[in-house]
Amino acid sequence: MANLRSWTLTDVSQRVYVDRLELTPGAVALTSPIAWSVRKRTLQGGLSAGVDIIEVDNGALSFTLVPTRGMGFWKGSYHGLPIGWQSPVAGPVHPAFVQALDQGGLGWLKGFDECIVRCGLASNGPPCTDVVPDNNGNPSKVNLTLRGRIANLPASRVEIQIKPGPPTELTVIGIVDEAMLFCPQWRLVTRISTTVGSNRVSISDRIINVREVPDEMELLYHCNFGRPFLEEGARMVAPSLAVAPRDARAAEDIARYAEYPAPTPGYVEQCYWHDLAAGADGMTLAMLRNAEGDRGVVVRFPKSQLPWLTQWKNTVGEREGYVTGLEPGVNLPNPKTFEREQGRVVTVAPGATYSSDLVLEVHDTAEGVSGVEAEVAALLGGRATTVHPRPVPRWSPGA
C-alpha cells in the first residue's frame, strides 16, 4: 500500500471541491504498457446541468460514474461494445429534476437511465403506504416511493485512488448519506475498482446504520442492459434452482422466461423471481448473452449478501427503452410491507455495517461466453430448475 496515490475530489466537511481533474500514466509519473485514464468533469445544459461525472478507462473497459446520482454506474464500453441501454430519459439527470412523489410515487423513473443503479436504502419496492413511528412515537402513515432515495442523493465525499501494478488498479471511492431527522440514517461507502486491461468492474459497498437504534434496510442493484447484448434470440443464463413469475402477466410467458424477443412496441413488462445456486465460495452469477453466443455481460455476487435475483424484461420498442434487468437484491422489490411480512427486510444494528459486493464482467468472444455457461452448469450440478407456472404466495403479494 506504500505506493498508493490518492486525490480528493469532494469533501463537504472540509469544503473541498475539484471541478476538473485528469489522471494518466504520464500525469502521475507511472510507466504503463496500456494507456489508461481517470477524468472528472461537470456537465452543463439541460437536465444534466451541474452533474459531476468520473470517466474511468482501463485501456479495454471504460465506464462513467455519477457522484451526483448516488455514485451510480451510468454507461460503459468494452472493446467498443456499449454497456448499458438507451432510455427515453436523456441523462444523466440531476436529482433536482426528479420529484419522487410525481405520478403517484413513480417520479424516480424521470431520472432512470443508468446501467447500474442502487435501489434503497430504506425501501426499494413500488410505491406503497407504510406505518412507522413518528417523532412522538405514535404510528404514522408514510408514502414510500418507487425504488427509494439513494440514487438521487449526491456524494458528500469522492476520492480517486491509484495503486501501481502490475496490474495497476484504478479505484473511485464515494460516500453518500441517506438521512432525515427522526428517520433512518444510512451511510453508503462504495469502492468501485478496475484493473488496467481487464474486463471487470468491482463494486464493494458498505452500508452503515449511523443511528443508535436498529433500522430496516432494503437494497437492490438494478443492472440494466440493452443492445448489443439484448436482441431477438438473446438469453439469460443463470444457475436458477427455482424461478417464478411476479404476476399473471409474467406467468403468460413463464415457459420462455429466459428468452428475449425483438423490440415489441407496446410490450408490457414481465418480472421473474430467481433463487440461484451458489458455489463453495458462496458466489453466484447471472449472464445476458446475445443470440450468437459471442457477446455476454455477467453480474457476479455473494448469495449470502444478495440472496435474490429479479429478472426484468422490458422488450418494448427501441424508443420506449428496450432493456432487461438482472437485479441482485437483499430482498425482492415488492411493497416493503409484504417483504417485511416474509422476513426479507434486513434489520441492521446501531452502528453496524451491511456489506454488499458486485462484479460486472463483459465478454466479446464465444469462448468467454461458453466459459460462463460452463460455470452455470457446474453450479447447478445436474439439478433441474423448478419453474413455477404461477406466482408463488411467499414471493408475490396476492398470489
Based on the number of CB atoms within 10 Å of its own CB, is 304 exposed (0-12), middle (13-18) or buried (19 or more)? Answer: exposed
Q: How far is the C-alpha of 138 from the C-alpha of 195, rounded, in Å? A: 51
Per-residue pLDDT tens, the chain, 399 aa: give them: 458 999 999 999 999 999 999 999 999 988 889 999 999 999 999 999 999 999 999 999 999 999 999 999 999 999 999 999 999 999 999 999 999 999 999 999 999 999 999 999 999 999 999 999 889 989 999 999 999 999 999 999 999 999 998 899 999 999 999 999 999 999 999 999 999 999 999 999 999 999 999 999 999 999 999 999 999 999 999 999 999 999 999 999 999 999 999 999 999 999 999 999 999 999 999 999 999 999 999 999 999 999 999 999 999 999 999 999 999 999 999 999 999 999 999 999 999 999 999 999 999 999 999 999 999 999 999 999 999 999 999 999 988
- CA 194 vs. chain centroid, Å, equals 16
Measuring CA to CA, which residue among 93, 87, 150 is closest to residue 113?
Answer: 87
* Cβ atoms of residues 292 and 256 within 8 Å: no
Measuring CA to CA, which residue among 203, 185, 194, 161 is closest to residue 72?
Answer: 203
Q: How far is the C-alpha of 275 from the C-alpha of 362, rounded, in Å? A: 23
Positive or negative torsion for Cα 65, 67, 72, 75: negative
Q: Which residue pairs, CB below 8 angstroms and at least 24 apart, start in 134-141?
A: 134/182, 135/181, 135/182
Strands in 67-127 per DSSP E:
72-78, 81-83, 116-121
Digit-coded pLDDT (tens) for 14-44: 999 999 999 999 999 888 899 999 999 999 9
Residue-range domain boundaries for the chain: 5-387
Q: How far is the C-alpha of 250 from the C-alpha of 388, rounded, in Å? A: 11
Q: From residue 107, how far is each of 19, 225, 278 by CA, in Å?
A: 29, 21, 36
- Looking up cell 444494528 gives 349
Q: How far is the C-alpha of 95 from the C-alpha of 72, rounded, in Å? A: 12
Instruction: Please name the fold of domain 5-387.
Output: Beta-galactosidase; Chain A, domain 5 (2.70.98)
18: cell is 475539484
Query: What would the DSSP string read from start to end of 112-154?
Result: ---SEEEEEES--SSSEEEEEE-TTS-EEEEEEPTTBSGGGS-
30: cell is 507511472
pTM of the predicted structure, to 2 decimals: 0.97
